[in-house]
Structure 1
Amino acid sequence: MERILAEAGLTSARTSPLGGGTYNRVLRVSADQGEFVLKLSPAGQPGLTYERDLLRTEALFCTLGAPIAPVPEVVHTNFSANGDALLTTCLPGRPLHGRTDVDRPLVRRQLGTTAAALHEVTGPGFGYPQLGLHPTWTAAFFAMFDAVLADARRYGVTLPAPGLARHAAAFDEVTRPALVHFDLWDGNILTDSGLTGLVDGERAFWGDPVAEFVSLALFGSIESDSDFLAAYGFEFTDSARVRLAAYQAYLYSIMLTERVPRGSTDPAMERLITDALAAALAVLA
């Protein structure tokens, strides 16, 4: 860690744990040059198929997003076979999760505008950058879901098949690979008097912007968020609702599967995720 901070040119650097990370180690760095966030990849920690080289994907997301949105700027990277490190600027504000002291309608409108701007960034193909891209979104997303089902079998988690093939035409409608954060729940949205930051872009991919709406309304429905949708400028179609249900099923399948390598034993959370997954699959049935 000291070597990485020295490589970045930081002096008198002091580190302290920064909560919220569930996969990478996250530290706040205070140095003569200012405040920063250092993320370190785990060494040999079991995970899901897509959980490889995540900090490289986050660095890409920050590089592309910072010019147009309140996203951390990349200060320094150190990517090696022994593990990855990403040093970024530290954004102001506190997570929106659990906050009652903010103007939530204002924040949701700002989120809508910001998400729409990020989704204008277009990639070279579809899927996770770290896993290799596909020429179509249908092929990419079906492969992403297949990987999670394989992970579930590996960890002994029973997941129902989503039956995506019958809805292939809905996914074929997506022809532009947009930059999707895919983890914009309230814990990764920073606020002060308004929106101040979007963090933890390590799970980003190139795909359908509708996929963003899952974590933006985690365990709920984005269609009830009129402030966000009006600012974003989105109106749902039947095919978009089908795709949204598939992306919900995908995320909730991830959340159920990752409980095993994470060692999570909260039965209430497991029931919440299981019920949400069942509701999403019912739309696809």
Structure 2
Amino acid sequence: MANVALLSAASPSTFSPAPRARLLLLARCPPPRRSAFPGTAASRLSIMAALSHDPIREWILTEGKATKITGVSSIGGGCINSAQCYRTDAGSFFVKTNRRIGPSMFEGEALGLKAMYDTNSIRVPLPYKVGTLPTAGSFIIMEFIEFGRSRGDQSALGRKLAEMHKAAKSDKGYGFYVDNTIGSTPQINTWTADWIEFYSKHRLGFQLELITQRFGDSAIYEKGQRLINNMLPLFEGAVIEPCLLHGDLWSGNISSDTNGDPVILDPACYYGHNEAEFGMSWCAGFGGEFYNSYFQVMPKQPGFEKRRDLYLLYHYLNHYNLFGSGYRSSAMSIIDDYLRMLKA
């Protein structure tokens, strides 16, 4: 969906998470008025024509309320996207671009960011605009957050993350308003009433099918399906609610602002079991202070330790799909351990 306006910089409350059909398409530019000064009108049209070839600058210099861009610098955008900071007389904007992928990926990210932002719990960058680039690809413009010198306080991160999980529950079940991506892997978020069904089909099952298609690995697929068919006892006694999850919480997506408050970014949001948020803990650096603070707000459920590796498994399988067989042994080890535990 090209040229989708996510948020007016002057009206930060106008965007709410919604199905893609509810996003409003903005008219590009109203017809120019006739001018008594033809040269001025021609000049104005020339400027607008120039802007129309760069939708990022166009948004910043119109809806972004800037009158001039004072500098553009490249910053880390990960292995999938490019990222820049646009500095203007109206403040700074963070922009990510992808020359190969259409706007659906950034639309999903924007919906996730706004859903988390609306919980008024943990700080996330506010999304402003998603659109298509003139030649190919897409972009997202969002709030620029100046990071502090460290990743922040683990205790504060745990508490604020738990506050987000507690504040945002879905009455639609488990899933999200749109499908999105985990890294560059599609993440299916079809609303499902039952968590175990959702996690079995749209998380573990989907990744196992991709592995079979890409690598022909029938052994891990067959064992993974055995685990899926026998994992119900792992959830005995647990009270499961559809909480809003960041979905891809590893160290590269965690920071702090200049006040030391935690910041999380680059989400793969959906509503799921809160424990699934810890699925990337193997490269997130969560310590005792993090978990202690988290469980003070969201109490630990019976069987938490038994389920922990089940949620790691989704991300190990995804890394197998993304980066190859170097992650196969970790995923297979988890599957084998559960099959022994469950005597399956």
Distance 1:7 1:230 in 2: 44
Residue in 2 that maps onto 1:166: 230
Question: CA contact under 8 A between 2:130 and 2:141: conserved in structure 1?
Answer: yes
Q: CA deviation at 1:26?
A: 2.6
Residue in 2 that maps onto 1:86: 140
TM-score, L = length of structure 2: 0.65
Q: CA deviation at 1:72?
A: 0.4
Residue in 2 that maps onto 1:232: 294
Residue in 1 that maps onto 2:169: 122
Distance 2:333 2:99 in 1: 34
Residue in 2 that maps onto 1:21: 78
Cα offsets for 1:129-171 (capped at 9, x unmatched)? 4232212211211122221112212222637233122112545
Question: CA contact under 8 A between 1:245 and 1:281: conserved in structure 2?
Answer: no
Question: CA contact under 8 A between 1:53 and 1:130: conserved in structure 2?
Answer: no
* 1:64 equivalent in alignment to 2:115: yes
Distance 1:42 1:238 in 2: 46
* 1:12 equivalent in alignment to 2:65: no
Residue in 2 that maps onto 1:186: 251
Cα offsets for 1:158-200 (capped at 9, x unmatched)? 3723312211254584542111112221111113563341111
Q: CA deviation at 1:83?
A: 4.8
Distance 1:56 1:241 in 2: 35
The Cα RMSD (Å) is 3.1
Residue in 2 that maps onto 1:48: none
Q: Which has the bigger relative contact order, CA under 8 A and spacing at least 6?
A: 1
Distance 1:196 1:238 in 2: 28
Residue in 2 that maps onto 1:281: 335
Q: CA deviation at 1:115?
A: 0.8
Task: Describe how 1:128-147 pairs up with structure 2 within 5 A.
Answer: 128-131=176-179, 132-144=190-202, 145-147=204-206
Distance 2:94 2:105 in 1: 16
Please state whether the residue corresponding to 1:258 is helix, strand or coil. Answer: helix
Question: CA contact under 8 A between 1:214 and 1:248: conserved in structure 2?
Answer: yes
Q: Percent of aligned positions with the same letter in both sequences?
A: 20
Distance 2:211 2:140 in 1: 29
When structure 1 is superposed on structure 2, of 177-186 and 165-174 the one drifting more is: 165-174
Residue in 1 that maps onto 2:38: none
* 1:74 equivalent in alignment to 2:127: yes
Matched AA of 1:70: R
Question: CA contact under 8 A between 1:113 and 1:231: conserved in structure 2?
Answer: yes
Q: CA deviation at 1:33?
A: 1.7
**Larger radius of gyration between Structure 1 and Structure 2:** 2
Distance 1:230 1:182 in 2: 20
Distance 1:92 1:119 in 2: 25
**Inter-CA distance 241–128: structure 2 relative to 1 (3 Å threshold):** farther
Distance 2:91 2:213 in 1: 44
Q: What runs of 5+ residues in structure 1 fail to find an aligned partner?
A: 46-51, 95-100, 261-269
**Inter-CA distance 84–242: structure 2 relative to 1 (3 Å threshold):** farther
Question: CA contact under 8 A between 1:111 and 1:228: conserved in structure 2?
Answer: yes
Task: Describe how 1:262-281 pairs up with structure 2 within 5 A.
Answer: 271=326, 273-281=327-335
Distance 1:113 1:90 in 2: 24
Question: CA contact under 8 A between 2:173 and 2:242: conserved in structure 1?
Answer: yes
Matched AA of 1:134: T
Equivalent residue for 1:176, pick from 237, 241, 253: 241
What is the total number of aligned residue pairs between the two structures? 257
**Inter-CA distance 5–244: structure 2 relative to 1 (3 Å threshold):** farther
